[in-house]
Amino acid sequence: MKNDWITAIGMMSGTSLDGVDAALIETDGVDVRRLGQSVFVPYVPELRERMRGCFGNRNATNSEHVVADDLTRVHIDAVEMLLAKAGLSSGDIGVIGFHGQTVFHEPASRLTRQIGTPDMLAEKTGIPVVADFRLADVAAGGEGAPLAPVYHAALMKSAGVAVPVAVLNIGGVSNVTWIGADDDLLAFDCGPGNARIDDWMLRHTGNPVDLNGATAASGKADPMVEVNFLKDPYFDRIPPKSLDREDMAAHIDALVAEAKLNVADGAATLANCTVAAIVAGVNHLPVAPKSWFVCGGGRHNDYVMAKLGARLGVPVRSVDELDWDGDAVEAECFGYLAVRHLRNLPLSFPGTTGVSEPCCGGRLYTKKKAA
């Protein structure tokens, strides 16, 4: 079995638009050994804004192709940094899992779009690349997201945590993986995660994050904004279900504008909306989790974490307490999924994306052969 293990690099550019995470894992496509090395390469503000300008595009534009290449160059830099940090060469890596940047996600129309140039990444690094992870699931009638549940379950299997347990990822959008007995899985997007908070802070302070939730903690949330926010029909939809980063944006922006909130009160209100969306998701879980473990950038928001613990009424902890790297879990996941592609193992399931049967996915890109 030892020869079945593959060293992979997983890469993630999330809806928070902060930068690229790259992480090393070793896996046979079922079990996983985390190698612990990861890097983060932030986007320069100019690229971030050009990427933001691609959001909502149902079809590619000429300018989007340029953005995709520039985005891929950041991924190439991340691979080189990670290899140097780990003391490895490209020949030591079996595959790269390249998620790209989601710019449009409308599974009801069987359409999801992630930009990036995987063949460029394969060519420049000399490592085979698996990309286009969501396309097959969406084409088969699934939601195309979230894709991390099968990886969350693999990690939890060796963690010895009592089930049912929830793994909550708070990125630009928040999503939950519910893990029950016998590896029973249910997953779905809960609602806005960091995206609305980040956009609010960028607009009002020039800084695209509420560091540690300090601004929200200094404000007072408007409860009526939360009440009206929860009237969105999405919260009554039966999962699996998924969201685009910009879903609900206009609705929330209008509610906050109508409330005429200052910066701190707006941050507190939006943070409470993030929490309320997660708590509302509990109604869709088969059994309430005994504990919640949080990954993604949102776990650094002390205000959000405290509110979650208070409103869920059970322990809410960072996945770092399990000796996971909460900043790298999503990146690691795509290394894991890349190896599952190579092994022809499914990436998504009826309980995670709503697809009718377990669905394989991804496309393999290799460097061009020398002439």
**What is the mean pLDDT for each group of 10 consecutive residues in the chain (371 residues)?**
82 87 97 91 94 90 92 98 97 97 92 96 98 97 94 90 95 94 92 94 94 97 98 96 89 95 98 98 96 95 98 96 93 97 97 96 82 41
Burial of 310 (0-12, 13-18, 19+ CB in 10 A): exposed
Q: How far apart are CA 254 and CA 342, in angstroms?
A: 46
Q: 121 Cβ partners below 8 Å, 6+ apart?
A: 72, 75, 76, 79, 96, 98, 129, 131, 365
- DSSP β-bridge partners for residue 364: 130
Sign of the Cα torsion 155, 167, 104, 209 reads negative
- Determine the pLDDT at residue 7: 98
Q: Please report where in the chains the tokens 């002390």 appear, as a residue.
A: 302
Q: By C-alpha distance, which of 128, 123, 114, 105 is closest to 247?
A: 105
- DSSP β-bridge partners for residue 25: 8, 34
Q: How many residues does the chain have?
A: 371
Q: How far apart are CA 95 and CA 176, in angstroms?
A: 27
- Determine the pLDDT at residue 59: 87
Q: What is the dihedral of CA 208, 212, 214, 220, to 10 degrees?
A: 90
Do residues 341 and 360 touch, judged by C-beta distance below 8 A? yes
Q: Where are the alpha helices (DSSP H) in 22-144?
A: 45-52, 62-86, 118-125, 135-139
Q: How far apart are CA 125 and CA 140, in angstroms?
A: 32
Q: How far apart are CA 349 and CA 329, in angstroms?
A: 20
Q: How far apart are CA 163 and CA 184, in angstroms?
A: 10
Q: What is the dihedral of CA 273, 99, 12, 37, to 10 degrees?
A: 150
